[in-house]
Structure 1
C-alpha cells in the first residue's frame, strides 16, 4: 500500500510505501520523496516510519541493545516514563520535548548499539519491535505527544550524520526501509521479525544446509597462516567433521613491514606458501572433502599498496578533494567503476580461478561521517551511497557465483545491520576470545540475525579440560558453528569430544533453519551466572541451551508453550555421564549443571 502526501508550498511529494509478508505480523515501511515543485530542494531529514498511536508512556517499557566490540547484543530495558519524563503537559498546555533516542554513526552502523529497539506493555502485554535497515547511519526517537507514546525511525539525518541530499525538479530520494514487528510479547515479536528476515533476504542453499565452518584464526593461527601450520589443521578439521575450511587473515602477507597498511592487491604470499603456493593448501582442503575459504577485507587499500597508486582519487573516500586516510588505509568508494572493477577482478581470481567457495569479508576501520564525492552534497549522503553500492556489488558477486558463501564481519558484529544481513549468508557475532564471556553474546545473537546466519565461535584447545571443551562447543550449537582451535594437537579423546558435538549439531541443524528464538528466563545480562536460549520449531521440537557460569547447580526454566504433562526431555550435549541433567516438571525444565563452567543442550518434544 502506498499513501501519497503533498506539500503545496514546497512542491514536495511523499510516497509512504507499506509492505507486508504473508502470515507474518511485520510491517515494512519506506518513504520516497519527489520534488514536484519549481525549485531545487535540500532534504535534511526524512523518517521511514512515524507512529503516534502507541499506548501512554506509563504503560510501556523500552528495550534497546548495546553493541560493542567483544561485547555484542547486550539488551537493556527501562520504563518509558524513566527516559521520557512527565513534564505535566496539561499544566503547560504544551507537549513534551523530551525524547529517548539512539543513533548509529559511521561505516560501522552497529558500533555502539544495534539498529533495533522494542516497546512492551507492562504486565506481559503486547510488544512492538523494530529494525532500521541501513548500511550507514540511522536514528530512532521515542517521545510523547497528546499523552501517547510516539516513535520515529530514520536513516541518516543532517543533525546526526551530516546527511543532506539536493533534489532537482523531478528528482527522487528513497529512505532506507524499516521493519516493525508486533506480537503478544517480546519473544513473539522477535519470532515474527525472524520470519520476516528470512522472507526478505536473498535466497541461498547455505540457509538450509548450515555446514560447519572451520576458521584458522580465533585463538589459533591469529593471522599467521603458513603451509606448514595449515596442513595438519586441515587434516584435523576434516577428521572431526568440518565441511568448510576458511584461511583467515595473513595469507597475502609477504611484507617485512607488516600487512596492515599494504593490503589491497590480495595476492598470496610466496614466503608463507612455498612448494606449490596457496593452491597446494586449497587443494588439500578439497582433497579432505571440505570447501576452501579465504578472508578478505575488500573495501580497504593500504597507503603502501600499489593499488593506492593505480586507482584514481575519485575511487576512494575523500573530503575537500583530498583522499581520506584512516589508520594507514584508504577506503574504496564502490560507486566508482574503477573501485568496483578492482574488486570484481579480485573475486573473479579468487573464486573463479582458484575455486574458493567461501569468503569472509571483514572490515576493520571506521569512517565517520563519510565521503564527499563529485555528486555528494554532504559526507553522510556519500556514506549511504557507498553502503548501497557495496551491497549492489556483493549481490553482483553472488549472481555470478550463486554457490559462494559470504560471511559478513566488521571486527565481529560492528556491521550487523538488516540491509547487509539480507545479502550475506553469515554474520560474525563477535571477536570475543574468552569462552566464559561468549555465552551472553551467543544467547542474544538471534535478536540480530536468524540462528542459521549467526556465526558463533567454538574454539576448543588441547590445554582445555574436557568440561571446558564441551562448554565452548556447546555454546554454538543453537547457531552456526564456527570451529577453531589447535585440533591438530589434541588427543584422541579430545578429538572424539569435538566430533561428538558436531555430530549432535548436524542432527539438529535442519530444525535450526526453521527455529524461532525465545528467552524463557529473559535476555541475558553480561554478568549473569545462568544464561538460557530457547529455540522453538513450529510444529516440532523445542531446544534449550543452558549455560552455567556460577551460582547454584540447578535452575528451573519455564517453557510456557509446552505446559502440561507428557513432554519428553533429552540431553543432547554434553554426552558424558554426570555432566548435566534435565527433568520436566509440568511447566518447565529443571536443569542441573554440576560443574562451572558448564552447558547443556536439551531437546523437548
Structure 2
C-alpha cells in the first residue's frame, strides 16, 4: 500500500493481483481505517476488475464496466511488474503477448490538493500495436446512495452553464469529437457525495471524453482521457505515447470549495508576479474596418480612461476586409497603415499604451496567398469535399512544415514590432481528417503546445490570451500555457454574468478575460447600467470592447473612475481566494475575493429593477466567508464585525439606478 499527500488531502492505493486499486482519497488520515472501496461476496458474471476500484485497467482486466486502455485484435491483459515511490508513484505493467509496457503515474502538484495522473504506453514488442482506447486515468468515488454529477455545458455564446445529473446506475458521458475542447462541454466533472465532493478535469485541447459509470455496489468510476474518434493510435516497435494529465481534486466544502482547489492548482503555473493590464480591444468598435486613423482615435479615448494595453483585433493584415479572405497572410496591410505598421504601433505606444494584436494562426481562407501556395496544408480526406466554417479551413498543425510556418510567423511578428499582448483565436473545429494518418489529433495538439511553450520562453514579456470563437478552448492545458482565456463571445451583461459564474466554478479569476461592451443580451435582454458592466468585467481581468468614441463625456468619466477602482483591487481579484455567494438565479449574487487582510466583494442585481421604494423592503444580505469574527472591517463609512459579516451578511440595496457595486473592505 502506498500513500501520497497533498496540501491537506491524501491518496492511497494498493496492489491487488495484477491491478492497482484505490484504497482511500480524502483529508489527511482518511486511509487510517477500512477502505470504503473494499467489497465482499462473490463476483457474479463479471471479473473482479469490473467491481474493483481499479486505478487503470485494460479491457481484459475490466471487460464489462468500462476500461481505460484497449488494443485492436484482442482483449489486453497484463501483469504488475513493479511500483516505484520516487516523485509520487509509478506502477509498471507488462503484457508479454503484445510487448506493451505501460507505466501509470500519480503525483500531487506541489502545494495543492490536486492529484495528477497519466500513463505512458511503450511498445517493446516486435510488431506494431494499435491502441483503440487511450485513457489517462480512472477515478473512483464511493457513492452508496448514487452519484450526483455536476458539469458545465452550453453552446456558442452560452458556455459554462452549470448542470446536474443524478446517476443511480448506468453511464453518463461528456466530451468533444471536434479536435478542440469545444463549446458544448468543459472537460470537468464533479461527483458529490454525502461526505464531500470529488472533481476530475483533463489537460487536453483536442478531442476528449469523460465517462462516469455507477455500478450496483455503490461505486462510481470516472474515466478521463482522449477520444480517438475512430482513429487508433498505432505504436511501431520502440515507440511510445504519453496520455494527457488527468487531474483529480477533493473538497469537504462542496462545489464552491472544489472550485477553490482548482483555482489554487491553476495558479501554480500562472505568472502571478505580472500585474494584469487593463486592455482595450477594437473588435466591436470597428470589426474588419481597421485603419490607422480609426484605431488611433480609439486609442486616444482608451488612454484617457486609464487603459494600459491597446489590442487591434481582426482586420489588420492584407486581404482582410471581411471573413472571406486574408487568413494565413499575416502581413500588415499597407493601405490601412499608409505610414507603415511600425509607425502606427509607435503612435499607439506614444499615448502611453502597450500594444497588442489579434491572430488566428491555425486558419487559412481559400481566398489567400497561403492557400494558393499550399492547398495541401489543410485537413482533408482524399476524394471528399472540403467544408468551410466561417469561410475558412483549418491548417494541419501536426505537419512539420505547418508547425514551422506558424512558429516563424508569430516569432517574426513579435520580434519585428513591440507587441506585448497576443490574442490567439481559433474559429472553427476540425471537420475533415484522413484517418489513415497516425494520430492527427495528437500531432496537432502537441505542436500547439510546442509553439505556446516556445512563445512563453522566447517572448516572456508577451501576455497570451487564448480564444476559440469564445470559450471553445478552455481546459487545464491551455490554462497552464496562456495568461488569460476568453470565456465567451457573448458580452451582454446578464448573459455574461451566468457564463462567468460557471467559469469560476472550475477556472481561476486570473484566467478570466472580460470586457465592458454595449452588447445586448442573446438570452436575457434586460438592460443593465454601465456600472453593472464594469463590476462584471472586473470579476477577472478587466477589458473594454465598446466603441468608446461614441460614449458621452459622462460615460467616459464614469468609465475612468471604474478603471481606477479596479486597479486598486486587481491584485486581490486575480490572486485572492474566491467565494461565490448565491448566483445569477438568486437574490444574492456576488463574488468575494480575499487576500491577506483585504476583502473585495463584487455584487450584482440579477433580478428585477423596480427600485421604487413604494412598498416595504429590506436590503439584500451577502454572507461573507473566512473572516476573523473578532475583527472589525471598514467599507467606506460603514464598519462591521467579522462575525456580523459572516452570520448576517454585508448589506446591499438595489435601486433602478444602482444595480451593481464593488465593495472593498479593510481591517478597521
Fold shared per TM-score above 0.5: yes
Find the aligned partners of 1:279 and 1:169 in 2 and give their Cα distance: 52
Name the structure 2 match of 1:10. Answer: 98
SS in 2 for 1:388: helix
Corresponding residue for residue 332 of structure 2: 268
Find the residue that maps to 1:505 and give its secondary structure: helix
Tell me which residue corresponds to 1:71.
158
CA 1:154–1:78: 2 relative to 1, 3 Å: closer
Give 1:312 deviation, angstroms.
Answer: 6.6
Deviations 1:297-350 (A, max 9, x none): 10011112111132372x332323879443342322223232123223322332
- Corresponding residue to 1:514 among 568, 572, 575: 575
Contact 1:135/1:388 (<8 A) preserved? no
Q: Which position in structure 2 is the counterpart of 1:316?
A: 378
Q: Which residue, out of 97, 101, 111, partners 2:183?
A: 111
Matches within 5 A, 1:521-532: 521=582, 524-525=584-585, 531-532=589-590
Match of 2:201 in 1: 131
Deviation at 1:479, TM superposition (A): 0.3
Matches within 5 A, 1:142-161: 142-145=212-215, 147-158=217-228, 161=229
Distance 1:559 1:61, change over 3 A: farther
After TM superposition, the score normalised by the length of structure 1 is 0.85
Cα distance, 1:596 vs. partner?
Answer: 6.6
Give the secondary structure class of the aligned counterpart of 1:71.
Answer: coil
Q: CA deviation at 1:252?
A: 1.7
Alignment of 1:20-169 (within 5 A): 20-58=108-146, 60-81=147-168, 84=169, 98-122=170-194, 125-145=195-215, 147-158=217-228, 161-169=229-237
Q: CA deviation at 1:452?
A: 1.3
Q: 1:57 to 1:466 in 2, by over 3 A?
A: closer
2:251 is aligned with 1:183 = yes
Give the stretch that moved more between structures: 591-600 or 27-36: 591-600
Q: Distance in 2 between matches of 1:101 and 1:492?
A: 52
Q: Which residue in 2 is equivalent to 1:92?
A: none
What pairs up with 1:338-353 in 2 under 5 angstroms?
338-353=401-416
- Alpha-carbon distance change, 481 to 47 in structure 1, aligned in 2, over 3 angstroms: same
User: Quick one: distance in 2 between partners of 1:273 and 1:229?
Assistant: 11
Inter-partner Cα distance in structure 2 for 1:141 and 1:596: 47
Equivalent residue runs for 1:131-530 within 5 Å: 131-145=201-215, 147-158=217-228, 161-184=229-252, 185-199=254-268, 201=269, 204=271, 208-218=274-284, 220-252=285-317, 254=319, 258-274=322-338, 276-311=339-374, 313=376, 315-320=377-382, 324-327=386-389, 328-368=391-431, 370-372=433-435, 376-377=437-438, 381-459=439-517, 468-521=529-582, 524-525=584-585
1:371 is displaced (CA, Å) by 4.7
Q: Deviations over 1:514-557 (max 9, x none)?
A: 22322222x545xx5653223233x3333322211324864222
Q: Is the 8 A contact 1:52 1:148 kept in 2?
A: no
Q: Are positions 1:549 and 2:613 aligned together?
A: no
Distance 2:225 2:465 in 1: 24
Q: Name the SS of the counterpart of 1:457 in structure 2.
A: strand
C-alpha distance 371-216 of structure 1, shift in aligned 2 (>3 A): farther
Shift of 1:195: 1.2
Kindly state the Cα deviation for residue 156 of structure 1 after the two structures are TM-superposed.
2.5
Larger relative CO (CA 8 A, sep 6+): 1 or 2?
1
Do the aligned partners of residues 325 and 277 (structure 1) sit closer, same or farther apart at CA in structure 2, a change above 3 Å counting? farther
SS of the counterpart of 2:237? coil
Q: Which runs of 5+ in 1 are unaligned?
A: 85-97, 578-582
Measure, in 2, the Cα distance between the counterparts of 1:355 and 1:321: 45
Q: Which has the larger radius of gyration?
A: 2
SS of the residue corresponding to residue 297 of structure 2 reads helix
Residues 548/382 of structure 1: CA separation in 2 closer, same or farther (3 Å cut): same
The answer to whether the 8 Å contact 2:511/2:540 transfers is yes
CA distance change for structure 1 residues 400 and 311 in 2, over 3 Å: closer, same or farther? farther
Q: Could you give the per-residue CA deviations for residues 167-221 of structure 1, whole angstroms, max 9, x where no partner exists?
A: 223321111111111111222222111111121x3x546x631111110113x22
The Cα shift of 1:14 comes to 1.6
CA distance in 2, matches of 1:321, 1:387: 25
Instruction: Write the deviation string for residues 250-296 of structure 1: whole angstroms up to 9, x where unpaired.
Output: 1125467x44344211122233333x133333112110111111111
Q: CA–CA distance in 2 between the matches of 1:312 and 1:255?
A: 19
CA distance in structure 1 between the aligned counterparts of 2:645 and 2:656, rounded to whole angstroms: 21
Residue 361 of structure 1 deviates from its aligned partner by 0.8
Helix, strand or coil at the partner of 2:510 = coil
Tell me how large the CA RMSD over aligned residues is: 2.7
CA distance in 2, matches of 1:296, 1:597: 38
CA distance in 2, matches of 1:53, 1:370: 37
Per-residue deviation, 1:455: 0.2
Change (3 A) 1:347 1:255: closer
Q: Distance in 1 between matches of 2:226 and 2:650?
A: 45
After alignment, is 465-474 or 498-507 more displaced?
A: 465-474
CA contact (8 A) 2:175 2:207 kept: yes
Q: Residues 563, 398 of structure 1: CA spacing in aligned structure 2 closer, same or farther, 3 A cutoff?
A: closer
Task: With the length of structure 2 as denominator, give the TM-score of the two structures.
Answer: 0.78
How far apart, CA to CA, are the structure 2 residues paired with 1:111 and 1:243? 30
